[in-house]
């Protein structure tokens, strides 16, 4: 079956939440171990829609991945977006991350965002490699930023200038 990568619709909300929950529960890729409660997640997605912010999904028979770029909430950071993305385990390594990220960045440019920032765990080599292929640059590191079951991990801060300057 072919995986469709497209803009998210309101019908994708529950599927996106379930996908986020599955990736978070792996305890390895995200800086969270669970999806937020559905009410909180619904408010986040409503905020994305109100801001006309990119939210992209990969869908097979269900949502298997997502990528969103949430614009800054304060007036002097509205030109900057914060990226979040993930794919369920069965759909990694198939180029879907690249497809999700490509469309999300295209939508961010259309929305006239100028910069996309992200935080990735230091040992998430596949994600770091993907971001670097797109031109994201490392801008910093938060040491011992994440702790789970006595294990510490650093966060790598990365950004991409998508302005036309």
Select from 42, 139, 117 the least CA-distant residue to 72: 117
Per-residue pLDDT of the chain (165 residues; tens, 9 = 90+): 699 999 999 999 999 999 999 999 998 888 888 999 999 999 999 999 999 999 999 999 999 999 999 998 888 998 999 999 999 999 999 999 999 999 999 999 999 999 999 999 999 999 999 999 999 999 999 999 988 889 999 999 999 999 976
Please give the structure tokens belonging to residue 98.
């690249």
Residue 154, C-beta contacts closer than 8 angstroms, at least 6 positions apart: 121, 122, 141, 142, 143, 144, 145, 146
| Sign of the dihedral defined by the CA atoms of residues 71, 76, 79, 84, in that order | negative
Q: Where are the domains of the chain?
A: 4-161
At CA 147, angle to CA 151 and CA 63, rounded to 5? 105
At the fourth CATH level, the homologous superfamily of domain 4-161 is: Gcn5-related N-acetyltransferase (GNAT) (3.40.630.30)
């Amino acid at each position: 079956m072919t995986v469709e990568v497209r803009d998210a619709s309101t019908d994708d909300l529950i599927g996106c939440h379930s996908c986020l929950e599955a990736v978070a529960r792996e305890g390895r890729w995200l800086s969270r171990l669970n999806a937020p409660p559905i009410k909180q997640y619904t408010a986040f997605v409503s905020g994305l829609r109100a801001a006309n912010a990119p939210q992209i999904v990969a869908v097979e028979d269900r949502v298997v991945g997502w990528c969103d770029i949430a614009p800054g909430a304060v007036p002097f950071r509205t030109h900057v977006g914060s990226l979040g993305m993930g794919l369920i385990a069965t759909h990694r390594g198939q180029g879907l991350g690249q497809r999700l990220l490509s469309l999300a960045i295209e939508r961010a440019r259309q929305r006239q965002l100028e910069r996309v920032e992200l935080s990735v765990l230091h040992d998430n080599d596949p994600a770091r490699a993907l971001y670097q292929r797109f031109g994201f640059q490392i801008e910093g590191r938060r040491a011992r930023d994440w702790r789970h079951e006595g294990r510490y991990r650093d966060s790598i801060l990365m950004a991409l200038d998508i302005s036309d300057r």
